[in-house]
Amino acid sequence: MKFGVHIKQSGPGSSAAGIFDVAAAAEELGYHALWLFDHLIGPTEVTTTYPGAADGVYDFDPEFNYYEAVAVLAALAARTERVTLGTRVLVSILRPPVLLAKQLATIDDIAGGRVVLGVGTGWMQEEFDAVGVPMERRLRRLDEHVALMRGAWQGVSSFDGEFYRHVEAGFYPRPPQPGNRIPILLGGFRDAALRRVAAYGDGWAVFSPPTAPGAKAHDLPDAAVLQERLDTLRRFCDEAGRNFDELHIVEGATFSTPMAQLEAHAALGVTACDLVSFAPAPTVVERAAKWAAEVGTEL
């Protein structure tokens, strides 16, 4: 299991300077990756049930900063040299796929092939309404969204789907990674998400719907729950003719997560961990340095 650090792009005290301070420290300390969450707006009233909290309440002040993930990826590509740059996860279908494919290929080229794209379907109705994208059938929309981007990354392509289409055109520069592909991780927890990981994903961004009071989406699932989900994913991979062992399994944790829990998850096959802290950037840097000194950046 390789450890990455979550970039503090939102919440109280978030700033451009803080983003760059955390990124520079993480790279210098030897962490494997920098990870980002995604939201476009913070409604003053959210009527949608938030799946990331046991009480369903999205607790976020609409006046807090929330730096847009794709723009931050571009900035980090220019300010770092080695670390993987990833989203866990981007609600990609809130963005036109032709534009997003072009942006990500450009960023990956600037970064020298370091981008990993975690995608999910989103949950906030108000956010979909704000950008004029229907929330209905968003899983099928995501299927097409990914297919269009992958086609575009091959250089010259056309697309004619149910939700998206474009004429044959060139989309250079292509991502410089092998096969001109940006690895795509799919978020989610239910069978529908895992079937898509097996069908066309390069990996799984692990999320577990919290059930305990006070639990949050970045809390680790119980090892037995994770084992069942991984066994299910392995079965879906067998059915799809995929090699389960080639998948990237990425989860989130905190700097206070017990080491025994992380070791158990690594033994189950989790390959990377995004260490999340919502503290001010200087505190995140301190925690990252302490973790690197006491635990290391890889299990």
How do residues 160-190 score in pLDDT, each as one tens digit? 999 999 999 999 999 999 999 999 999 999 9
Amino acid letter for position 194:
L
Is residue 11 included in any domain, yes or no? no
Q: How confident is the model at residue 296 (pLDDT cuts 50, 70, 90)?
A: very high
Query: In terms of C-beta distances under 8 Å and separation of at least 24 residues, what long-range contacts does 154-157 make, across chains too?
Result: 154/180, 155/180
Domain assignment present for residue 5? The answer is: no
CA 12 to each of CA 76, 87, 124: distance values in angstroms, whole numbers, following the listed order: 21, 21, 21
Instruction: Compute the distance between CA of residue 254 and CA of residue 146 in angstroms, rounded to an integer.
Output: 30
Q: What's the length of the chain?
A: 299
Domain that holds residue 215: 33-254
Q: What is the pLDDT of residue 209?
A: 73
pLDDT class of 34 with cuts at 50, 70, 90: very high
In a domain, 296, yes or no: no
Q: Considering the domain boundaries, does residue 274 fall inside one?
A: no
Question: Which range is least confidently modeled, 7-16, 130-139, 188-197, 211-220?
Answer: 211-220
Ranges 78-87, 124-133, 210-219: which has the least confidence: 210-219
Contact 76, 87 (CB under 8 A): no
Q: Over the stretch 194-226, which tens digit does the pLDDT of each residue have?
A: 999 999 999 999 987 777 666 666 678 889 999
Q: Answer yes or no: are the C-beta atoms of 26 and 288 closer than 8 Å.
A: yes
CA distances (Å), origin 122, targets 36, 96, 186: 15, 15, 12
Which of the two residues, 50 and 3, has the higher pLDDT score?
3
Residue 193 has pLDDT above 90, yes or no: yes
Q: Is the pLDDT of residue 95 over 70?
A: yes
- The reply to whether 160 falls in a domain is yes
Percent composition of the chain: helix, strand, coil (DSSP 3-state, to 5): 40, 20, 40
Structure confidence at residue 126 (pLDDT): 97
What's the confidence (pLDDT) of residue 216?
A: 67
- Tell me, yes or no, whether 231 lies in a domain: yes
CA 258 – CA 277 distance, rounded (Å): 15
Query: Is 16 inside a domain boundary?
Result: no
Is residue 56 in a domain? Answer: yes
> pLDDT at position 217, please?
63
CATH number at residue 224: 3.20.20.30
Phi-psi region of 293 (alpha: psi -120 to 50; beta: other; left: phi over 0): alpha
For the chain, what is the mean pLDDT? 95
What pLDDT, on the 0 to 100 scale, is given for residue 212? 65
pLDDT at 52: 83
C-alpha dihedral sign at 74, 79, 80, 81 = positive
Total domain count, the chain: 1
